[in-house]
Amino acid sequence: MKEIDELYDQVIVLKRNEFLKIGGTIDTNIYLVKNGSLKIYILDQENEHIIRFGYDQDLVVSLDSFLTEQASDFFIQALKKTVIHRISKNKFVEFINENEKNKRIWISILERLILQQLEREIDLLTTSPKERYNRILKRSPSLFQKISNKQIANYLRMTPETLSRLKKA
């Protein structure tokens, strides 16, 4: 996505545990992770529910806030020192409207996000912890080199002990 990488208007460096976005705020930017890693999550009372991770050339966006320009419940937080490029919505919309090729790029991004979300929903609703582990291992094998087991276990909706047992099996 070289074309998109050239749209950034700001480089942001986040320290470990620093927030890019907190729940209840509006964020209409798109971010490209250059290095490091982020987690996207929501809070349910005191419990954190990780929805997604971002690392190594991933686009990260609070999509609901981006599309509606309304506040979102999502938190985006660095898991370690992370460098990201910020692309403003205005600049991105200009890019999309420049030509058909750019519109197809946007549609492709949206399709991937939707398919990832559908796959995740199916995982959480219908499969056992072992099946969820195997699916994520197949889908994103590098996740286990970049994200801690505790965070992955939260994402997979299992205890760290269950994840540890599955990894050993």
For helices 100-126 and 89-98, angle between their N-to-C axes, nearest 10 degrees: 120
**What integer pLDDT is reported at residue 158 of this predicted model?**
93
Q: Please answer whether residues 74 and 62 qualify as being in contact, where contact means their C-beta atoms are separated by less than 8 angstroms.
A: yes
Q: Please answer whether residues 85 and 31 qualify as being in contact, where contact means their C-beta atoms are separated by less than 8 angstroms.
A: yes
Pair of tokens at residue 137? 């291992």
Structural domains of the chain in order of their starting residue, each with its CATH number: 2-98 (2.60.120.10)
Confidence class for position 127, pLDDT limits 50, 70, 90: confident
Backbone angles phi, psi at 30, to 5 degrees: -110, 145
Evaluate if residue 1 carries a pLDDT over 70.
no
d(CA 86, CA 31): 5
**What integer pLDDT is reported at residue 2 of this predicted model?**
60
The SS3 assignment for 78 reads: strand
Percent pLDDT > 90 in the chain is 73
Pair type for strands 82-87 and 47-55:
unpaired
Backbone angles phi, psi at 154, to 5 degrees: -60, -45
Regarding pTM above 0.85, the answer is: yes
Instruction: Give the torsion sign (CA, 136, 142, 146, 149).
Output: positive
Confidence class for position 38, pLDDT limits 50, 70, 90: very high
**What integer pLDDT is reported at residue 119 of this predicted model?**
86
Highest mean pLDDT among 76-80, 137-141, 144-148: 76-80
Average pLDDT over residues 139-162: 92
